[in-house]
Chain A
Amino acid sequence: MFKAREYVRVKSLEEAWNLNQKKSNVIVGGMMWLKMGRGQKGTVIDLSGLGLDTIEETEEAFSIGCMCTLRQLELHEGLNKEFDGIFRECTRHIVGTQFRNGATVGGSVFGRYGFSDILTCLLALDSYVELYQGGVIPLVQFTSMPYDRDVLVRIVIKKDGRKAAYLSQRNTQTDFPLIACAAGKMGDDWYVSIGARPKRAAVYRISGTGKKADELAREAASMFEYGSNLRGSGEYRAHLANVYVRRLIETIEKREA
């Protein structure tokens, strides 16, 4: 666990942003990831007093405050109804209930972790990140941006009628995923995102017109690079991606039929 000199439950995003400009200060989301770090910090910046812990649903979109927990994503009825249960599916294998009551959406997305189930899932949807200084930008763009000292305020997901599905594989329960795959379908277009390759999730759009599920899956999976680590080889990951993307496509097609 790191050490810190001060703790501030900020009263505004402006205060949070100002404090966060100092390199030794740190925004704490759920602290699950941060607590594994060592060293001396200055001020711990806590956003929990800003009411950013709710999921709001309008006709057009979902707006998810950065302090919402992964457990809120997992249990939110509107979100899971709109996107065919993918939020439950992408969260339920992450460590345990107590962990998911702590880990936040803001920390998960800001971290842009290679293994992230959350990032993989969100990338298959029409998702945006709202930054205090940077404004609202597409999540795809945020994913490849360098780490800076902005404050992630919300995630916005547009309701564009996309059908979606999610699958991941772990070597053992509660471990990081070995591969994480999500698919979204809009008309004839497919949005396929694959994470834990072990590189960070990315997304590609491909047209499904006139293609069978296995053909489409092969085409989609071949667009990504796969690497090796302790959990598995790149070759194994490439094979798994093929299989899981095909299953996702079949699941969505079956639902539509």
Chain B
Amino acid sequence: MEIQLTLNGKAVKDQVGADTLLLDFVRKHGCYSVKRGCETSNCGLCTVLLDGKPVLSCSTLAARADGCSVTTLEGVQEKAEAIGRFLAGEGAEQCGFCSPGLIMNVIAMEQELSEPSEEEIREYLAGNLCRCTGYMGQMRAIGNYLNRKGEEQNG
């Protein structure tokens, strides 16, 4: 079947199978930041924004995204790089494999919550697993990112 959606601001039309997952669809269209880290909808690495909401692309049918707007890390490069700088600043990453999903969910969180407490941040991001770290560096980095000022806000 044919679907049409907006992927990172560009209209994309393509044939998909009844069982094609959104994850495989966006990768086919060049969004290699989106990865599969588990088989059980648990890790959050495959997070994309579907009409602005964070969802697991590994558990979403491409057919259901027909007519929707999909955003991946490739579509929010500047913001992603800014968050990446804060993560690096705290030495938060070890292998960095979990970062794309985490960054997408931080972006979603920033849009949804205003001035979240540490507990609210932890709760919002609970579905982003990291196998290397204990999340302490990430929590510091995200705190710093949310409290950034001036020109960084735009970066």
Contact = CB atoms under 8 A, between A and B. Distances in A.
Interface stretch (A10-18, A29-37, A199-207): A29-37
A36 B1 CA distance: 24
B59 A44 contact: no
Contacts of A147: none
Contacts of A236: none
B127 A97 contact: yes
A1 B41 contact: no
A102 B127 CA distance: 13
B55 A102 contact: yes
Given A4-B18, A36-B40, A96-B44, A28 B61 contact: yes
B88 interface: no
A46 B128 CA distance: 27
Given A35-B41, A98-B56, A174-B126, A46 B63 contact: yes
Given A98-B56, A98-B127, A36 B39 contact: yes
B127 A31 contact: no
B70 to A, nearest CB: 13
Contact of A174 (B1, B21, B42, B58): B42
A6 B18 contact: yes
Interface residues of B, number: 33
B19 A44 contact: yes
Interface string B92-131: 0000000000000100110000000000000111111100
B60 A95 contact: no
Contact of B18 (A32, A44, A48, A97): A44
Contacts of B44: 96, 98
Contacts of A92: 123
B56 A102 contact: yes
Contact of A97 (B19, B39, B42, B54): B54
Contacts of B66: 9
B79 interface: no
Of B17, B42, B59, B128, most buried by chain A (CB within 10 Å of CB) is B59
A228 interface: no
Interface string B54-77: 111011110110100000000000
A95 B59 contact: no
A5 interface: yes
A31 B128 CA distance: 19
B59 A101 contact: no
Contacts of A31: 59-61
B47 interface: yes
Contact of B19 (A4, A36, A46): A4
Nearest to A46: B64
In this complex, which of B21, B42, B56, B128 has the most chain A Cβ atoms within 10 angstroms of its Cβ?
A: B56
A173 interface: yes
Contacts of A97: 54, 105, 108-109, 124-127
Interface in A206-241: none
Given A7-B18, A36-B39, A174-B42, A95 B61 contact: no
A174 B60 contact: no
A4 B20 CA distance: 9
B127 A174 contact: yes
A105 to B, nearest CB: 16
A43 interface: yes
B48 to A, nearest CB: 9
13 contacts: A2-B19, A7-B61, A9-B64, A28-B61, A35-B58, A95-B127, A97-B124, A98-B47, A98-B105, A99-B59, A101-B50, A102-B56, A174-B42
Given A98-B56, A101-B50, 4 more contacts: A1-B21, A31-B59, A36-B41, A46-B63
